[in-house]
Structure 1
Amino acid sequence: MSTDWIDRETALQRLGVRSQTLYAYVSRGRVDARPDPADPRRSLYRAADIGALTDRRARGRKASAVAQSAIAWGEPVLASAITTIAGGRLWYRGRDAAELAQTQTLEAVARLLRGGHGAVLKSVERTAPPALDDGKARLFAALAARAAAEPPARGRAPLALALEGGGLLDLVADAVCGGLGTGPIHQRLAAAWGQPSAADPIRRALVLLADHELNASTFAARVAASTGAGLSAAALAGLCALSGPLHGGMAARVWNLLEESRRIGPAATVEGRLARAAPTPGFGHPLYPEGDPRAEALLTACPPTEDLAALLGAVESGTGERANIDFALVAMAEALGLPRDAPFLLFAVARSAGWIAHAVEEGSGGRLIRPRARYVGPAVGV
C-alpha cells in the first residue's frame, strides 16, 4: 500500500478518534478518501490530510493558528445563506444544483442566488462590448470600464442592486459573445461560438458553475463588496482571482494533460505523473471525496469523446481520483467543438451570477472584511 494513503485503522490510531469522527472529517472535505484497490468495500485515507489534522490538534486552539488553518479548505469563516456543500452535493439556497441544471437557465438561477430580490426585472439599457478580438480581454475591459464609472453599492436599495445585478450579468455575457444579443445566455453563447446545437449542454454547465460557496474568487468578490464597492468592482475582483491557473485557469492544464495523453497514451501519462508525484489536473476535489457531482452531471449529459474517455478511465483506475468540473468542461468543449477558451469563459459568465449574489449579501452586512497577518519577518522594536 502506498504511504500516501492509509487504511481506516491506521487513520483512527493517528487521530485518536472514533470511526464516526473520521467519517465526519471525510464528509466535510477535510480528509480525502478513496476505495481500496485491493478491496473496494474498504476505504483508504490521504495520509497528508490525517497529518494536518493531528498537527492542528497539537497546536491547540490558539486563535492565530485556527484562523490560519481556516483559510485553506478549513472551517467556515463567514455566514452566508446562498450556497453550501453538504453530503457530497452542491446546494443553492437549499436546492440541489445538479437537479436545477436539468431544467433551469443561468438567469433563473442567478435570481435564486440573489434571494429575496430575485424577481424578473425590466432589463436596463445595454452598450456594446469593447472591440477586442479575445473574449477574455473583452470581459476584463468591460468590467473595468463599468467599475470605474459605477457608484458605490453601500447604502443603495436592494431592488436597485437587483436590477443592476441583472444588467451586469448581461454585460458579462455580451462581452464574451462579442456583441449584444437577445434570448437566454446559453443560446447566445452557443450562437457566438457557431454551435447552436450545443445550447443545452452549455445551459447545464452554466447552472452547475453559478456558485461554489466561499471559493477563492467569491471570497475576493466579497472582500471588495465589504468595502462598499460597486457590484462591477466586486465582479472584477472575482474575475481576477478566477483567472489564476489554480482556479478557473485550470482548464488550460487539463488541455495540456489531454495533449500529453494523445502523444504517449493514457496509461503512460498516468504512470509518468505517478512516478513524478505530479498532480493530475482535472481530477479530485477536497470538498467531494466521493466525486464532484457537477462533473458527473455534465459528463452524463455530454459524454466525452473516445480519447477523453480513455484518459478518464486511465486516471480513475490508476489514481483512484474522480473527474472534477475542470475535466468535464474540457470534455464538453472537445465533444461539442467549442473554442479552447470556452471552459474559462463559461466559468466566468456563470460564476458572475454567484459573485453578484455574494456582493449583495456581503454589502448588506455593513462590515469590512479585514483579517490580520501573523508576522514572521525580522524582529521589530516595540
Structure 2
Amino acid sequence: MSWLTAEEALQALKTKPQTLYANVSRGRIRAKPDPTDPRRSLYQATDVQRLAERHAGRRKTETVAAEAIRWGDPVLSSAISTIIGGRLFYRGKDAAGFAEVATLEQTATLFWNGAEPLSSSSGTGHASPSLQAAFLALAGRVTSDLPSLGRSQAALRREASGVLYTVADALAPGPSDRPLHLRLAASWQRPDAADCLRRALVLLADHELNASTFAARVTASAGAALSATVLSGLATLTGPLHGAAWQGVGALIETASTLGAEQAIRRTLAQGNRLSAFGHPLYPDGDVRALALLSHFSLPPQFAEVREVGEEMVGEKVNVDFALAAMAAAFDLPREAPIIIFSLARSVGWLAHAMEQIDSGELIRPRARYTGPAPETDNRT
C-alpha cells in the first residue's frame, strides 16, 4: 500500500489543506501517522488519485463502477455496520466496546432488529466442530427451505434463527441452552478460551460489504432461501484472500520458527507473496478487531517476535487474521479453529444482510464491460 505526504497529496489534488482534512474526516481519503514523525500524517495514494481524477473530470461512469468494487465508493445502502475513522460500528455502536460485554446471540439481536435468535434444535450435532458438516447441513436445507421472496420480515427472522443454529450445530456442537461461545469452548475442551472466543465471535460478526457478505446479498437479491445465502457466504469465506487468510499466517509462523522472523518475512516478500498477517485497507492505523482481541491473551513467543519484527519491516500493524491464528495457538485450539470461529460469527452478519437485501426488493445485477473479440457484423444483404 502506497502512502503520500501532505505536500504530495495537496499537489495531486490541487486543493487547500482544509479540503484534504475534510476528505479524511469524511472517509474519502485514508490517513495514518507518519512513522518517522508522529506529528505528520500520510495519505493513501489510491484514494488521493481517485479523488484527483474525479475532480479533473476524467473518470467515466464505467471507471467509477469498476473501482467501486475494489475498496472504492459504497455501492449498496446498509444500516448494519460501517467503518469510519478506523473504527468499526454495529448499528451505530462501537464494535470493540460492544465486544467487551456482548455475546454472539446479543449481536444477532442487534443486527436482526431486536429479534432474539432462538434454537429449535436439540443442540447435539457432531462430536467436534466441522466445517464440512456445516456445508452439508446448509445444502440439505437449501433443497427444502422456502424462497425468501414474498415473505415477511417476521417470518424471515424466525427462519434466520433456524439457519443460524443449523450452522451452530455443525460448528459449535453442544446443549442448545448454552451460549455459542461456551458451546465452542466445550467442544474443544478449552474452557479457559471461552471469553476470548466470545469476543472473537462478536468482533467477526460483520464487516460491512466484504466479499462473502456481497455474495450472500447477491443470492438473497434473487429471492433464494436464507440457507442459500449463508451457503454462498460460507463458500466465499473459504478463499485465501478472505476467511482462510489464517493459513498464510500459519505458514509465516512456521517459516519463522525455522529461519527467524526477519528472514521469514524477507523470504515471503522476496517471493512476491502476500503477507496475510499485516495491514488492512480500511484500517490505516491498525485493525481495531485485532487490537481488541490481542489485549486479552498472551501472545506465544513466535507470534510476538513476528509481530514486533513484521510491524517494523512492513510498516503495517497485525490484523485480525493474525489475531485469530495467535489466539488458536495460545489456547492450543485445533488448527482449523480460525475458520470455524469466523464462519460461525459471520453467519449472523450474512443473515442480517440477506434480510436487509430482501427487504429492499432490489435484484443485484451489474453489467459486465465486454473485453472479448469484436462481435460479428451481419453481412447479409
The 1:21–1:232 alpha-carbon spacing in structure 2 relative to 1, beyond 3 Å, is: farther
CA deviation vs aligned residue, 1:161-190 (integer Å, no higher than 9, x gap): 111111211111111135664400000001
**8 Å contact from structure 1 (residues 146, 232) kept in 2:** yes
**Structure 2 equivalent of residue 60 of structure 1:** 58
Cα distance between partner residues in 2 of 1:24 and 1:310: 38
Cα distance between partner residues in 1 of 2:52 and 2:170: 48
**Structure 1 equivalent of residue 355 of structure 2:** 360
From 255, 268, 272, the equivalent of 2:267 is 272
**8 Å contact from structure 1 (residues 33, 289) kept in 2:** yes
| Structure 1 unaligned spans of 5+ | none
Query: What amino acid is the match of 1:70?
Result: A
Equivalent position SS for 2:360: coil
From 326, 333, 338, the equivalent of 2:333 is 338
Cα distance between partner residues in 1 of 2:266 and 2:26: 30
The 1:162–1:367 alpha-carbon spacing in structure 2 relative to 1, beyond 3 Å, is: same
**Structure 2 equivalent of residue 85 of structure 1:** 83
Equivalent position SS for 1:301: coil
The 1:132–1:34 alpha-carbon spacing in structure 2 relative to 1, beyond 3 Å, is: same
Cα distance between partner residues in 2 of 1:216 and 1:319: 25
**Structure 1 equivalent of residue 112 of structure 2:** 114
**Structure 1 equivalent of residue 119 of structure 2:** 123
Instruction: Tell me the C-alpha RMSD between the 2 structures.
Output: 2.4
How far has the Cα of 1:123 moved from its partner? 3.3
Equivalent position SS for 1:339: coil
Matched, 1:94 2:89: no
The 1:60–1:106 alpha-carbon spacing in structure 2 relative to 1, beyond 3 Å, is: same
From 364, 372, 375, the equivalent of 1:377 is 372
CA deviation vs aligned residue, 1:246-270 (integer Å, no higher than 9, x gap): 0001010110111111111112223
Cα distance between partner residues in 2 of 1:368 and 1:46: 33
How far has the Cα of 1:39 moved from its partner? 2.3
Cα distance between partner residues in 1 of 2:15 and 2:144: 55
From 279, 303, 310, the equivalent of 1:308 is 303
How far has the Cα of 1:37 moved from its partner? 3.8
Matched, 1:203 2:198: yes
- For residues 282-293 of structure 1, what are the structure 2 equivalents within 5 Å? 282-293=277-288
TM-score w.r.t. the length of structure 1 is 0.91
From 30, 36, 39, the equivalent of 2:37 is 39
From 226, 241, 250, the equivalent of 2:221 is 226
From 9, 14, 17, the equivalent of 2:15 is 17
The 1:124–1:132 alpha-carbon spacing in structure 2 relative to 1, beyond 3 Å, is: closer
**8 Å contact from structure 1 (residues 30, 286) kept in 2:** no
The 1:89–1:37 alpha-carbon spacing in structure 2 relative to 1, beyond 3 Å, is: closer
The 1:24–1:241 alpha-carbon spacing in structure 2 relative to 1, beyond 3 Å, is: farther
How far has the Cα of 1:215 moved from its partner? 0.6
**8 Å contact from structure 2 (residues 121, 176) kept in 1:** no
The 1:276–1:17 alpha-carbon spacing in structure 2 relative to 1, beyond 3 Å, is: farther
Cα distance between partner residues in 1 of 2:360 and 2:216: 14
Query: What amino acid is the match of 1:232?
Result: S
How far has the Cα of 1:16 moved from its partner? 2.1
Which is worse superposed, 359-368 or 201-210? 359-368
The 1:122–1:280 alpha-carbon spacing in structure 2 relative to 1, beyond 3 Å, is: closer
**Structure 2 equivalent of residue 328 of structure 1:** 323
The 1:5–1:64 alpha-carbon spacing in structure 2 relative to 1, beyond 3 Å, is: closer
- Identical residues among aligned pairs (%): 51
**Structure 2 equivalent of residue 350 of structure 1:** 345
TM-score w.r.t. the length of structure 2 is 0.91
**Structure 2 equivalent of residue 73 of structure 1:** 71
**8 Å contact from structure 1 (residues 29, 289) kept in 2:** no
Equivalent position SS for 1:149: coil
Which is worse superposed, 170-179 or 352-361? 170-179
**8 Å contact from structure 1 (residues 28, 287) kept in 2:** no
Equivalent position SS for 1:232: helix
The 1:343–1:122 alpha-carbon spacing in structure 2 relative to 1, beyond 3 Å, is: closer
Which is worse superposed, 201-210 or 309-318? 309-318
How far has the Cα of 1:300 moved from its partner? 0.7
- For residues 217-256 of structure 1, what are the structure 2 equivalents within 5 Å? 217-256=212-251
Query: What amino acid is the match of 2:303?
Result: L
CA deviation vs aligned residue, 1:291-334 (integer Å, no higher than 9, x gap): 11111100012231122111111111112101111111111111
| Structure 2 unaligned spans of 5+ | none
**8 Å contact from structure 2 (residues 185, 194) kept in 1:** yes
Cα distance between partner residues in 2 of 1:120 and 1:34: 39
**8 Å contact from structure 1 (residues 226, 367) kept in 2:** yes
Which is worse superposed, 13-22 or 203-212? 13-22
Aligned residues: 377
CA deviation vs aligned residue, 1:5-38 (integer Å, no higher than 9, x gap): 4422122212323334444555666655444343
CA deviation vs aligned residue, 1:110-134 (integer Å, no higher than 9, x gap): 111011xx333653245864x6987
The 1:24–1:305 alpha-carbon spacing in structure 2 relative to 1, beyond 3 Å, is: farther
Cα distance between partner residues in 2 of 1:215 and 1:86: 15
